[in-house]
Amino acid sequence: MKRNDWLQLAAYFGVLLALAPLIGSYLAAVFGGAIPRWLAPLKAVEGRIYRAVGTSPDREMRWTEYAIALLWFNLVGVLVLMGLQLTQQWLPLNPAGLPNVAWPLALNTAVSFVTNTNWQAYSGEATMSYLTQVLGLAVQNFVSAGTGMAVLLALARGLARRSASTVGNFWADLVRSILYVLVPLSLVFSLVLVEQGVVQNLAPYQEVTTLEGAKQVVPLGPAASQIAIKQIGTNGGGFFGVNSAHPFENPTPLTNFLQMLAILMLPAAQVFMFGRMIGSRRHAWSLFSAMLVLLLAGLGLALWSETQGNPALANLAPLEGKETRFGVVNSVLWAVTTTAASNGSVNAMHDSLSPLSGLVALFNLMLGEVVFGGVGAGLYGMLAFVVLTVFMAGLMVGRSPEYLGKRLEQREMVLAMIAVLAPCVIILGFTAIALLTEAGRSGVTNAGPHGLSQVLYAFASMAGNNGSAFAGLNANTIFYNLLGAVAMFVGRFGIILPMLAAAGSLAAKKSCPPSSGTFPTHGPLFVLLLVSVVFIVGALTFLPALTLGPVVEHLMLGSRVF
């Protein structure tokens, strides 16, 4: 690694560390109802929205009511998005004349975007009309991030409130996250992207005659507005098939830097928002440190591995699937951040990464997307691990576990364990099904251990609601579309529902003041324990599968090819 590579890494983490607490305090203010004065015009819009919809933001909901509102809203989202895809040929804004999407792919894509996964078994420029992209996919990019944020807010209220029966108002949380956070950030960001070269128009694809006289079709479309929210909302779904490797999505090193920043920005900031809501700066920093440790450990291994080169090819800089303008280090940094946050956009093809870099990406997915994770989703997932950590610490010292003044009992432990284990069952179970059936195996395009990694990555990505892929896998089949839809659905709502239930039962509890025997949820010891629990759960569950995939491939590197 050159001096310049270190400089880029330092700049990235420096800016992230500087901005995250600031944006976190803004989030806390907005969701606490203290709208800054310079946002007064938006406040008027917010009021109009509630009036138009016929609901009141002040009406408090029990967790069941909150969950029902969330589920109905998401179900409507799936149906509308499917409908758009199944009829796009007859709808306006389809200058490329793209046909209707086949139903298995339409279902998979609808579930994928509603669950904030953005797994794409298609290439946007050859499959989706402009209308489907802006009015279907991009809308879900906003509201699925808003949904994640809402669940986190409900859980934070459950921890902050004492003897309460309610956890907030879903509609208010959703509208505020979109109106005060996602839309303003996306507006600014998309214009910066256009200035750098990202396309944004509604024109038909343009045919040009190249220098040598061949015909080339230049794909166009409203890309910038969608790319901004795909990064800010940790969605990750590309406007074009090759995602942020496409020069029209990510034309310069600066857009690359800003997009990487956007990938981790809200997931990092929400930790500080949470800290403010529960009134503990120390706990927020401890959570942030635990996430950062896990991120940096993975990044270190991936960078080491990738800069070694491929011994079978004279250790050349491994540029297969990478872009010249980004180089190796930016591609690895992106791969690690996008899999840590449940973003899933890529600027280089993960399928062609070195085995250990691929392993880091895969392991990030398997940890349950809690290393910063998705907007809202990352932290409520991590809090399930925190509950587990506090419980284990309680076992070790022989005291009943408490977290932020709330006594954790059987009900909370069961709910946290469901949230931790549901994605694991899906990943290993569905991978096994795929490998045992011809339908599953036929999608594999790399022979040897890498083929196993392709399938394992697909289900880890979908169950973790990430959306990145070892993209060689031929995933646009009925088998992968349907099984994948189930994986994404369980990976999303199999965590959201237990977490909302936990929010309800925590809110109802009385506060018990900390005593000398209470295990402190801040400081290096807590960080170490939390990191260990996350790592051990991931390692115990997935080590055998990882060994047969990327680890074996690494050991064979340079001595065997398939």
Partner 1 sequence: MKTSNDTLPFWKHWGALDSIVPAPQAVPPVHRAGPLAVACRMFLVLSLLTGMIYPLAVTVTARVCFPHQAAGSILKRDGQPVGSEWLAQRVAGSQYFWPRPSAGDDGTNYATVASAASNLGPTSSNLIAQVRARADEFRAAHHLADDMAVPADMLFASGSGLDPHISPASARLQIPRVAEARKFDAATTERLCKLVEQSIEPRQLGFLGEERVNVLRLNLALDLLK
Site residues (CB under 8 A) for partner 1, limited to 280-309: 281
Among 219, 368, 373, 394, binds partner 1 (CB under 8 A): 219
81-99 b/e with 16+ CB inside 10 Å = b?
A: bbebbbebeeeeebebebe
Residues 132-151 that bind partner 1 (CB under 8 A): 134-136, 138-139, 141-143
- Identified binder of partner 1 from the candidate list 15, 102, 191, 551, rule CB under 8 A: 191
Give yes or no for a contact between 261 and 189, defined as CB atoms under 8 angstroms apart.
no
Separation CA 491–CA 43 (nearest Å): 34
Per-residue mark of binding to partner 1, 373-412 (x: CB under 8 A): ----------------------------------------
- Of 293, 448, 476, 505, the residue at the interface with partner 1 (CB under 8 A) is 448
The dihedral of CA 130, 135, 136, 137: what is its sign? positive
Q: Please list, in sequence order, all residues whose beta carbon lies within 8 angstroms of the beta carbon of residue 443, skipping any fewer than 6 positions away.
A: 434, 454, 455, 473, 474, 475, 477, 479, 480
Q: Choose the binding region for partner 1 from 313-321, 381-389, 409-417, 523-531 (rule: CB under 8 A).
A: 313-321
- The torsion angles phi and psi of 529, rounded to 5 degrees, stand at -65, -45
Give me the least distance between CB of 143 and partner 1, in Å please. Answer: 6
Question: Residues 337, 352, 468, 481: which binds partner 1 (CB under 8 A)?
Answer: 352
Candidates 113, 117, 155, 222; binder of partner 1 (CB under 8 A) is 222
83 binds partner 1 (CB under 8 A): no
Q: Distance between CA 228 and CA 194 in Å, rounded?
A: 10
Q: Which residue in 100, 82, 80 sits closest to 91, CA to CA?
A: 100
- Taking CB under 8 A as the criterion, which residues in 4-63 touch partner 1? 4, 7-8, 11, 22, 25-26, 28-29, 31-34, 36, 49, 52-55, 59-62
DSSP assignment letter at 168: B
- Choice from 203, 395, 397, 436 touching partner 1 (CB under 8 A): 203
Count of residues that bind partner 1 according to CB under 8 A: 159
> Look-up: residue for tokens 């990976």?
491
Nearer of residues 238 and 368 to partner 1, judged by Cβ:
238
- Binding segment for partner 1 among 117-125, 406-414, 427-435, 513-521 (CB under 8 A)? 117-125
173 touches partner 1 by CB under 8 A: no
Which span (216-224, 363-371, 428-436, 497-505) binds partner 1, by CB under 8 A?
216-224
Per DSSP, the residues of 252-281 read SHHHHHHHHHHHHHHHHHHHHHHHHHHT-H
Among 77, 148, 394, 484, binds partner 1 (CB under 8 A): 77
Cα distance between residue 271 and residue 379, in whole Å: 7
Stretch that binds partner 1, among 205-213, 285-293, 414-422, 430-438 (CB under 8 A): 205-213
310 binds partner 1 (CB under 8 A): yes
Q: Does 72 bind partner 1 (CB under 8 A)?
A: yes
The one segment of 226-234, 263-271, 361-369, 421-429 that binds partner 1 by CB under 8 A: 226-234
Regarding 432 and contact with partner 1 (CB under 8 A), the answer is no
What residues contact residue 214 under an 8 Å CB cut-off, 6+ apart? none
Minimal distance, residue 397 CB to partner 1, in Å = 27
Interaction of residue 121 with partner 1, rule CB under 8 A: no
- Whichever of 337 and 347 has its CB closer to partner 1, that residue is 347
Task: Determine if 183 is a binding residue for partner 1 (CB under 8 A).
Answer: yes
User: According to the binding rule CB under 8 A, does residue 312 interact with partner 1?
Assistant: yes
Nearest partner of 122 among 103, 107, 109, 141, judged by Cα = 109
- The angle, 0 to 180 degrees and rounded to 10, between the axes of the packed helices 355-366 and 281-307 is 150
Q: Which range of residues in 70-78, 427-435, 476-484, 536-544 is near partner 1 by CB under 8 A?
A: 70-78
| Nearest C-alpha neighbor of 419 from the set 151, 180, 164, 17 | 151
Spatial distance between the Cα atoms of 374 and 235, rounded to a whole number of angstroms: 8
Q: HSE (CB half, 13 Å, CA atoms) of 164? A: 21
Least Cβ distance, residue 329 to partner 1 (angstroms): 9
Distances in whole angstroms, Cα of residue 313 to Cα of each of 128, 301, 448, 451: 38, 21, 18, 20
CA dist 557 and 75 (Å) reads: 46
253 part of the interface to partner 1, by CB under 8 A: yes
Residue 546 binds partner 1 (CB under 8 A): no
Which residue matches tokens 């280089």?
Answer: 348
Interface mask (CB under 8 A) for partner 1, residues 493-522, using x and -? --------------x---------------
Based on its alpha-carbon atoms, the radius of gyration of the chain, rounded to whole angstroms, reads 23
> Is 190 a binder of partner 1 (CB under 8 A)?
yes
- Asked whether position 1 contacts partner 1 by CB under 8 A, the answer is no
Check if the beta carbon of residue 88 is closer than 8 Å to that of residue 101.
yes
Among 87, 94, 123, 476, binds partner 1 (CB under 8 A): 123
